[in-house]
Amino acid sequence: MTLEIQTEHDLSGFNTLRLPCVAARYVAPTDPGVLTSAIALARRNDWPVLVLGGGSNLILGERLDGLVIQPAFQRWQLEPIRKGRVKLTVEAGMNWHRLVMAMAEQDLWGLENLALIPGHCGAAPIQNIGAYGVELSDILDAVHGVDLQEGCEVVFSRDECAFGYRDSIFKHAMEGRVAITHLELSLSTQAQPKLEYGDLARRVGNEPTPLEIANTVIATRQEKLPDPAVLPNAGSFFKNPVVNAAKADRLLSKYPDMPHFPQSPGEIKLAAGWLIDQCGLKGYRKGAFGVHEKQALVLVHRGGGSAQELMVFADGIARDVLERFGVVLEKEPRAIGLHPT
């Protein structure tokens, strides 16, 4: 395998918001060995490195200097580890949804609630992706990668990943430090449906298979969420905020129908989409960006906008929520290559 660096590479089609972006240098290694060579080349030339997955949870600036690496290796394998459990090893470039469906078709349990989440497997631990009552951290055993500063292989156990709600060590102490190469996941051969979230239980009926649950999740998501290939978006743009119980009680006394979900003792998670909707912003549009008319948590790009314009638009929404509810909204996508305005 040879290392082929492309220059002035257009990334507008490599991020689901379809924001204009050019990479000074770009490589899509099809083998982990080529990835290691690319990292070594960047270290020798003091190039900053951005590891790009499916571009589904990013806000990209107009130009990225250094080297953008997008792993394209996507093999996976299964290995029995003990009675009722199977070890799944999957490489970083594998499409997440394709993996979910492949496992569901084999009647393996654990991934089915995470169907139709866009992006690649290598990016999944960064965000600790989650949906319908399941998070990646529920089934992940280890993350393997290459240290971008040292060039050596590194392994993080589930505990070492410091997973939280849409959070991990890869957004903090190890941010920009690791090129993830593959994941180790633990799946079950025995029925373990998780149907507590929303109306999944009503929709799937009795004794569903993993494939039936995955297909139900797909149908539910498609009813509410726009397809990024049709209407560019980054999925949920804001995290669901977590507030203390006292603040939640004050808000519930004024808004008794407000969705709320108990978390750790003394903390309550609120629904960011509901807060935005209550501000009358569902369907709101300004310039190239808008709030989706079916799901207020999703911001969409109608075309011709920039990352800076998107940030201004999003900040305005967060400001309206803060003024009405006293709740701070935090952006979910990572912003990369943006310059302060």
> What are 7-52's pLDDT values in tens digits?
999 999 999 999 999 999 999 999 999 999 999 999 999 999 999 9
pLDDT of residue 236: 93
Residue 1 lies in a domain: no
Of 69, 90, 112, the last residue of a domain is: 69
* Residue given tokens 């590891």 in the structure block: 51
Is 29 a member of any domain? yes
pLDDT tens per residue across span 191-208: 999 998 878 989 998 899
Query: Residues 159-185: what's their mean pLDDT?
Result: 96
Active site residues: 166, 236, 332
Q: Which distant-in-sequence residues (6+ apart) come within 8 Å of 209 by Cβ?
A: 104, 107
| 277 and 201 housed in the same domain | no
pLDDT averaged over every residue in the chain: 96
Distance of alpha carbon 235 from alpha carbon 238, whole angstroms: 9
- Do 91 and 208 lie in one domain? The reply is yes
Domain for residue 50, yes or no? yes
- Which domain, by its residues, includes 30? 6-69
Q: What is the per-residue pLDDT across 107-149, written as a single tens digit (0 to 9) for each? A: 999 999 999 999 999 999 999 999 999 999 999 999 999 999 9
Overall domain count for the chain: 3
| Mean pLDDT within 235-257 | 97
Does residue 145 share a domain with residue 274?
A: no
* pLDDT the model gives residue 341: 52
Sign, CA dihedral 135-137-138-144, equals: positive
Q: How far apart are CA 21 and CA 13, in angstroms?
A: 9
Of 224, 248, 275, the last residue of a domain is 224
Which pLDDT band holds residue 339 (cuts at 50, 70, 90)?
Answer: confident
**241 occurs within a structural domain:** yes
Q: How many CB atoms lie within 10 A of CB 280?
A: 12
Q: Are 300 and 318 part of one and the same domain?
A: yes
Asked if 52 and 117 sit in the same domain, the reply is no
Residue pLDDT, tens place only, 317-329: 999 999 999 999 9
Place of tokens 């201004």: 312
161 and 249 in a common domain:
no
326: in domain: yes
pTM, full prediction? 0.92
Q: Is residue 341 part of a domain?
A: no
Q: Is the pLDDT of residue 340 over 70?
A: no
Q: Are residues 286 and 307 in the same domain?
A: yes
Q: Are residues 217 and 146 in the same domain?
A: yes
Is 323 within a domain? yes
How many Å apart are CA 31 and CA 50, to the nearest integer? 17
| pLDDT value of residue 1 | 67
Domain boundary among 29, 44, 69: 69
